[in-house]
Amino acid sequence: MNAPESIEPKLSSGVATRYAGASAGPARPLAEAELAARRQRSRRATFIKWLRKVHGWVGLWGAVLGLMFGVTGFVMNHRAPPLKISPGAPRVSEVQMPLPVPAPKSPARLEAWLIKELKFDAGRTRIRKEAAQPVEWGDRSVMQPEHWQITLFKPGANVVADYWVGSQAIFLKRSDNSLMTTLTNLHRGVGMNIFWVLLMDTIAGSMILLSLTGVLLWTELNKRRTIGVVLVAGSITAALLAGLS
């Protein structure tokens, strides 16, 4: 009688079905949970990738003007002792200019004449008007005529015009700014029109967006990091409010 080469135990059909059901039963919910986790990770990775692109393009938009703001902000922060940085003294010139005949009858007309005569493309102007009034001069009282002061602004220079009503001439004082003062005036919007102001608003908005996207990129939407950032930001805000109150 020949012996079999191997012994293979044969299970009954009921036992085989029971073991198969035991091994295949829990596999389906595990696969679904893993698939859901992968989908969540994929969505987060896609969002972070998009966030990096936004961060990069916004940074590129504000790079040049942001560099200017950084330099001028540093100089403005050191405008007083003990660590004063001088932006350079302006070049000042004074002149007395005869008025046309007849002389302008209002400050607005005098302003328009000055801009045209001086070819001064002012981004912003300021008019001050003082009524005639008596003043003490030595031992007597004299009537001081009405005084108009017109200031023309632009980033690189400004002109101050003083005119006493009834006079045949106007006194002008012009100040030409240094390069650093001109850049500082651009930072502050001195003598600039509404288009420059709106452009600066977009740069300010891009800086805010860069800060927010930078924080989100650092957290990578991790719950612990996000909660930590929120707690730190809340603590700093509370400390600032407490210090200002």
In-domain check, residue 42: yes
The structural domain count of the chain equals 2
Same domain, 128 and 138: yes
Same domain, 98 and 206: no
| Residue after which a domain boundary falls, among 146, 162, 177 | 177
Distance CA(118)–CA(154), nearest Å, equals: 13
In-domain check, residue 169: yes
Same domain, 103 and 156: yes
In-domain check, residue 201: yes
Can you give the pLDDT at residue 136?
84
**Average pLDDT for the chain:** 80
Q: What is the CA radius of gyration of the chain?
A: 38
**Residues in CB range of 215: below 8 A, 6 or more apart:** 229
At 100-155, the pLDDT tens digits run 988 899 999 999 999 999 988 877 889 999 998 888 888 888 888 899 999 999 88
| Residue after which a domain boundary falls, among 155, 177, 199 | 177
Distance CA(94)–CA(89), nearest Å, equals: 16
Range list of H helices, 7-155: 13-24, 27-61, 63-77, 107-118
Q: What is the CATH number of the domain that holds 147?
A: 3.30.160
In-domain check, residue 123: yes
At 170-212, the pLDDT tens digits run 999 999 999 999 888 888 888 787 888 888 888 888 888 888 8
Same domain, 163 and 116: yes
Question: Tokens for 38?
Answer: 């992968």
Higher-pLDDT residue of 5 and 110 is 110
Q: Mean per-residue pLDDT for 31-44?
A: 75
SS3 content of the chain, % helix, strand, coil (to 5): 55, 20, 25
Same domain, 160 and 99: yes
Can you give the pLDDT at residue 16?
47
Can you give the pLDDT at residue 188?
85
| Residue after which a domain boundary falls, among 177, 205, 231 | 177
Domain that holds residue 194: 37-88+178-218
pTM above 0.85? no
Same domain, 69 and 96: no
The position carrying tokens 């730190």 is: 232
In-domain check, residue 163: yes
Distance CA(238)–CA(231), nearest Å, equals: 10
Same domain, 169 and 192: no
Same domain, 124 and 161: yes
Same domain, 134 and 73: no
In-domain check, residue 99: yes
Same domain, 147 and 83: no
In-domain check, residue 209: yes
Answer yes or no: are the C-beta atoms of 76 and 155 closer than 8 Å: no
In-domain check, residue 13: no
Same domain, 123 and 71: no
Same domain, 188 and 71: yes
